[in-house]
Amino acid sequence: MFLANRIFSLLFMKEEFFRLLQKDMSVVDFIQQGADVGFTIKKLDAEQVEWSSAAFWDVFGIGEPDKSQHAQLRKQRILAEDYEKENRLIKEKDTYSYILKVKKSEQEVFSLGCSFKKIGDYAIIKYARIGTNLSLLFGQKFTDFSKDLVAIINEKFQFEYVNQELDKTLGYDAGQLIGKSIEQFLHEEDKLQHIAAWEDLFSSPSEPRNTISRVKKRDGDFIWLEWRAVANADFNAAFFVAKDITEAKQKEALQKSLNKSLLSLSNLPGLIDNNFTDFIKHLVIEVAKKLKVDRFSFWRFLDKEEGIQLEFLYDGRFNFIENGTIFKKNDYPNYFNAIINNRELAVVNAAENKKTQDFAGNYLDEFKIKSLLDVQVFVGDKCIGVLCAETRKKRAWKYEECNYLSSIAEIFSTTYAVSEKREIEKKLKDSQALYKSLVNAMPHFIYRTDLDGRVTFANDAILQDLGMSRDEIVGKIGYDLFPEELSIKYKKDDQYIIENNAVFRDTELHFFKGEDKVKYVEVVKLPVLDANGNMEGIQGIYWDVTEYKSKEISKNKLLEKLKRQNEELTAVRNRLEFINKFSTNVLTQNTLEEIAEVLVNSACYDYSLSHSLVFVKHFSRDTYEKIAEASEPSNKIKSRAFVDDIQDFISNSLDTVEVYSAEASEIFEKNNVELGSDWKWIFIPLKIDVRSVGVLVVGCEESIDEQGLIEKLEALCRIVAMRIQNSIGEIKQKETDTKLRKNEELYKSIIDAVGEGIVVQDSDDEIKVTNKSASRILGLTENQLLGRDSFDPLWQSTHADGTPLLPEQHPSMVTIKTGKPVDNFMMCVNTGKGEKKYISVNTRPVKDQHGHMYGSVASFSDITAKVIAEKEVKRLAHVAEKSGEIILTCNASGKIFWVNAAIADVLGYNPEEVIGKEPGNIIKSDNSDKLTISDLATALQKHLNFTATLGGTKKDSSLCWISYEVTPIFDNNNKFLYSIVVMKDDTELIKRQKELERLLKSTVDQNERLREYSYITSHNIRSSVANIIALSDLLLQDPNEVSYVELINKTIHKLDLTIKNINQLLNLEESLDEKDMIPCQLLETIKRTLSLHNELIKQKGANIKVHVPAQLHVRAIPAYLDSIFYNLVTNALKYGITELSKQIEIKAFRLGDRVTVQVKDYGLGIDTLKFKEKLFKLGSRFHEQISDGQGMGLFITKRQVENLGGNIEVESKKGLHTIFKVTLRVHE
């Protein structure tokens, strides 16, 4: 404790360590053990020593140094290799024991026994002296904590070291034994033996010596120790390990003693002279003494086991008692149960044991019984009684004792059984007879011999077997009775028994001399002891086990047979394995050469043939070519000539195996193949059934047995032939496969190149083939697509408008079911990326070469962008409807595929009426717009922007002007989706525009006319004025010329007229009010006009024809109308009447809402080419002959006609006719 305290107080300062200690208090134990032990505590990885005890330095052999020097000194002093070892062990193990060598001085080295225990990061090591000059060999085996009793003994047989256990066992304190001689502790009787055994322990090679001896303990008792002694390498010390076998020994002794007792029973008095009672008595006494029990009794079972009755009792004190006490079963149920159900009952504490409690209180108390041992006695199967051994002191029954008593019970039963029979009881008195009868009653063969081997007794069974009488057999020895070989054995066995005093058991052959019947017997022979325990002979018992033995022999024979069969099977299996391996090897080769290589290599190396070659038929020629060769030593044939030479031999052996010697050898030699002694050549065909694909040629020594070899090689050849055959097929197959694969790749690359997604489904609707575009569009890899079907809910298929798509509506399903194609089916699916896509699907059935449909192929394109854009457009269009704009969408060919509702409002057409038409043809335009319509159509088809305005009629035939604005729409990849056309009703706008134009024109015209007026008038006035001036000048110069005055007068009148005309013209510029216009009957006007010209008509002699329907009325101002026709008629009369022609025709006819009046004359005519423009202009005069006009007439007429909303034309041919056509508005 002191030591431990010291450690603790030191370590207490080191908290870490203290904590560690708290975890593992076994350290304390470790520390506490042993005085004279030094301690070191060090960290596992460091050289630094945390602490060393003072005792350590004692043990170490030096005074305690300064702490700083601890580690250094340790290292210096401990031998280098041991130092390393210690460090290593500490790292690797949790606990270990070992020896360290420490330098005392340069010459002197001593050993320390060490052991350590790890705790956390620290190791606590303890060191103890173990004497001098011990080698490492011990160190390994040395352990302080072993349960073995260990000592190290020096040459003088003194204890150098004793381990704890040994000290303890012998009862000595540590160190007390050191220096003492081991001999003094040995039992006298054992001393000699051991000294002898250990004598050469230190001089001869170190084999362990095992001995057993009794060793005296400190208290004087002896214990049995089994020693195992080994010397060390230097032979200066020995390692003694002992095992305490005292207990075992004691057991042995007890057993021996009991056995002896059993054996000696046969010598008990009473047995020999058949005095049964005596025998029993002595038996009982013997047992009681041997078992050291106080009471020993025999109780017999009553009938039906209802109870037990005491037959006799031996009480050590009162000797033999015969008593009739009865114990009934019912009274002692537990006990009876126990003994009936068990053969024995060993009870240590009878009073408390349940089974014997029944007797507590009376029987047990009366006789003061503490422990009992009861054993049943059986005669045959029946239990007849129980033997009871009882003690007054508590007794732990030993196993040997129970056995002993059981044996006694058996003997007892035997003797008891015998005693039942009254006749036999008599014989019992005769010990010899008893014995004999005992022995004879047994079915076994029993005999006795003396020490010389003479028969002293043989039972009836033997006598019968031998056919001798008792007298005849007594005195005979083995040699007399048995054949020599048996007797020798028997003698030897007997010798063994005598020498060793041991029991002999064996199973041996047995037959008497001259007997031909052989028996097998099992024999037990034991020494017979006299009353003093000296051997006086041998008793043998044997019984017939022939049947058993013969069975055993058969069994052995069978085993032999099986073993042979097994060997055969193993051989077969080996062969099969070889073939298997060969086949595998061959099968994995691909080229002919490689296949043949396997065969030639196998021939050479597995079968030790010297040379092997394979020839195979050339693919096009009729010769055989060498494709593989192997030889040992390597000796390949290179020449071509060889192949040629060998052809005949090969041809010969295509069908059957051929063996050649000299002839073939010649060819080989010729080609420089070195042959050994006489060789022969075996040609084996490589056959499949009857066809041969080649030949294997092997060369070997003459002496080799062909048959077996050929058989084995043929098997290999068949395998190779098949493989060759297959490989040819395989090459072809490979070519086909390569072609197929190329086709497949081509096909695949074609469908991959297609921009549309392609998917092929089989008749079960499963996708079998896909292309890249399909993956792209559907957002799934090929692997994800394969195996999916149309019904897969992952698609979430719907129609384009969102309604669910029923499976039978799916285009693939339709095609598969009906065999009919489906085109442009629009649907919406969920892609692998979870987005919705619109696709347009076309499906076609897929048929095989017989025309059977086995699936469908679907091609589809992504129309999502388009659909989405369309939806957007429609959404916008609906908005636009409200503003009255027609919005429609046209496809790539310029046809309308959708229009908003505004079309009905604006143009009066229902959407269905225009779907499929071209936008330019909706409103019916006239030819003037043809070009624009064509341009519009072109722009739509070429997907260009375009604007235009077209005039036409709405459905209700009302005029309209519609502006078109075309905008093509493209998706993100610049692919055309559709065109949007916005149509606006510009009718009002255009009308107003046109009105403006008309007004503008009319204003411009008017301005132009006014300008003309001003010119003409100024000119006309001026010319008249100029004339007047000139005339008046002349008149002044020549006042008498009267003609001048006339001319002045004329001119002034002309001037007056001119001015009047101006007024008229200006009046014509005033626009006429519609309400001034009244219906005028045309006929009546013309008639009136004509009547005004009566004078002129008469004068000219004109013939005027009038064809004017009476009902024709025109809308006009009467004054105008009169003026117009007056002028025309005047002109016609003036210029249209010639000498040749006097005809004037006036016709009128109606056309729609117009009336045309024609005034035709056949007069002078006008050169219309020349004068067309000028005709109706101011100042135009064409006919100089009749020149009193001022050229205003037609101008005025034209103005008048136009003011009435009509127009005037002229058609004339010079010199032929002139027609003036006036068109006016009809009045209904």
Partner 1 sequence: MSRDILLVDDDEIFILTASVVLKKAYPGSNILIAKNGEEALKLLDKQSPDLILLDLNMPIMDGWDFLSAAANKPLPPIFIVSSSVDPKEKEKASAMKQVKGFIEKPLDAKKIVGLL
Sites of contact with partner 1 (CB under 8 A) = 1015, 1018-1019, 1022-1023, 1025-1027, 1029-1031, 1033-1034, 1047, 1050-1051, 1179-1184, 1187, 1191
| Angle, helices 546-587/706-753, rounded to nearest 10 degrees | 50
What is each CA distance from 36 to 1, 56, 66, 385, 520, in whole angstroms?
14, 8, 21, 66, 69
- Helix, strand and coil in the chain, % to nearest 5: 45, 30, 25
CB 1183, min distance to partner 1, A: 7
Give the span between the Cα atoms of 461 and 455, in whole angstroms: 15
Give the span between the Cα atoms of 676 and 518, in whole angstroms: 61
Closer of 417 and 1035 to partner 1 (Cβ) = 1035
Closer of 926 and 1188 to partner 1 (Cβ) = 1188
Taking the alpha carbons of 591, 597, 599, 602 in that order, is the dihedral positive or negative?
negative
Q: Can you read off the two tokens belonging to residue 380?
A: 């045959």
Closer of 845 and 1163 to partner 1 (Cβ) = 1163
Closer of 38 and 1193 to partner 1 (Cβ) = 1193
Closer of 556 and 1187 to partner 1 (Cβ) = 1187
CB 941, min distance to partner 1, A: 53
Phi, psi of 855 (to 5 degrees): 170, -170
Closer of 1172 and 1183 to partner 1 (Cβ) = 1183
CB 1209, min distance to partner 1, A: 21
How many CA atoms lie within 13 Å of 856's alpha carbon, on the beta-carbon side?
26
Taking the alpha carbons of 1193, 1199, 1203, 1208 in that order, is the dihedral positive or negative?
positive
What is each CA distance from 699 to 300, 354, 607, 627, 635, in whole angstroms?
94, 93, 11, 17, 12
CB 1010, min distance to partner 1, A: 15
How many CB atoms lie under 10 A from the CB of residue 499? Answer: 8
CB 1201, min distance to partner 1, A: 23
Burial of 864 (0-12, 13-18, 19+ CB in 10 A): middle
Instruction: Report, in angstroms and rounded to the nearest whole number, the Rg of the chain calculated over CA atoms.
Output: 76
Residues 6+ apart with CB under 8 A from 521: 445, 507, 508, 510, 542, 543, 544, 545, 546
CB 1029, min distance to partner 1, A: 5
CB 1174, min distance to partner 1, A: 9
Lookup result for tokens 């493209």:
970
Single out the residue of 117, 126, 121, 123 nearest to residue 42, CA to CA.
Answer: 123
Single out the residue of 1224, 1220, 1086 nearest to residue 1159, CA to CA.
Answer: 1220
CB 967, min distance to partner 1, A: 52
Residue 1201 near residue 1114, CB atoms below 8 Å: no
Closer of 332 and 1044 to partner 1 (Cβ) = 1044
CB 925, min distance to partner 1, A: 44
Give the span between the Cα atoms of 314 and 175, in whole angstroms: 53
Closer of 259 and 1180 to partner 1 (Cβ) = 1180
CB 1032, min distance to partner 1, A: 9
Taking the alpha carbons of 430, 432, 435, 438 in that order, is the dihedral positive or negative?
negative
CB 1021, min distance to partner 1, A: 8
Closer of 145 and 1015 to partner 1 (Cβ) = 1015
CB 1086, min distance to partner 1, A: 29
Give the span between the Cα atoms of 757 and 914, in whole angstroms: 33
Peptide bond into 633 cis (omega under 30): yes
CB 1051, min distance to partner 1, A: 6
Give the span between the Cα atoms of 1131 and 1168, in whole angstroms: 16
| Angle, helices 15-23/2-12, rounded to nearest 10 degrees | 130
Closer of 842 and 1130 to partner 1 (Cβ) = 1130
Q: Can you read off the two tokens belonging to residue 958?
A: 């009302």
CB 1195, min distance to partner 1, A: 14
Closer of 557 and 1022 to partner 1 (Cβ) = 1022
Closer of 738 and 1187 to partner 1 (Cβ) = 1187
CB 1185, min distance to partner 1, A: 10
Closer of 213 and 1020 to partner 1 (Cβ) = 1020
Closer of 392 and 1177 to partner 1 (Cβ) = 1177
Give the span between the Cα atoms of 759 and 769, in whole angstroms: 6
| Angle, helices 987-1037/1042-1068, rounded to nearest 10 degrees | 170
Phi, psi of 353 (to 5 degrees): -65, 135
Dihedral angle, C-alpha 394, 399, 405, 409, nearest 10 °: 130
Closer of 768 and 1181 to partner 1 (Cβ) = 1181
CB 1003, min distance to partner 1, A: 22
Closer of 439 and 1166 to partner 1 (Cβ) = 1166
Residues 6+ apart with CB under 8 A from 831: 777, 778, 779, 780, 837
First to last CA, the chain: 154
Strands (E), 584-705: 611-617, 624-631, 658-660, 679-688, 691-701
CB 1008, min distance to partner 1, A: 14
Closer of 817 and 1022 to partner 1 (Cβ) = 1022
CB 1130, min distance to partner 1, A: 17
Residues comprising the chain, all counted: 1228
Closer of 115 and 1131 to partner 1 (Cβ) = 1131
Single out the residue of 12, 104, 80, 93 nearest to residue 51, CA to CA.
Answer: 12
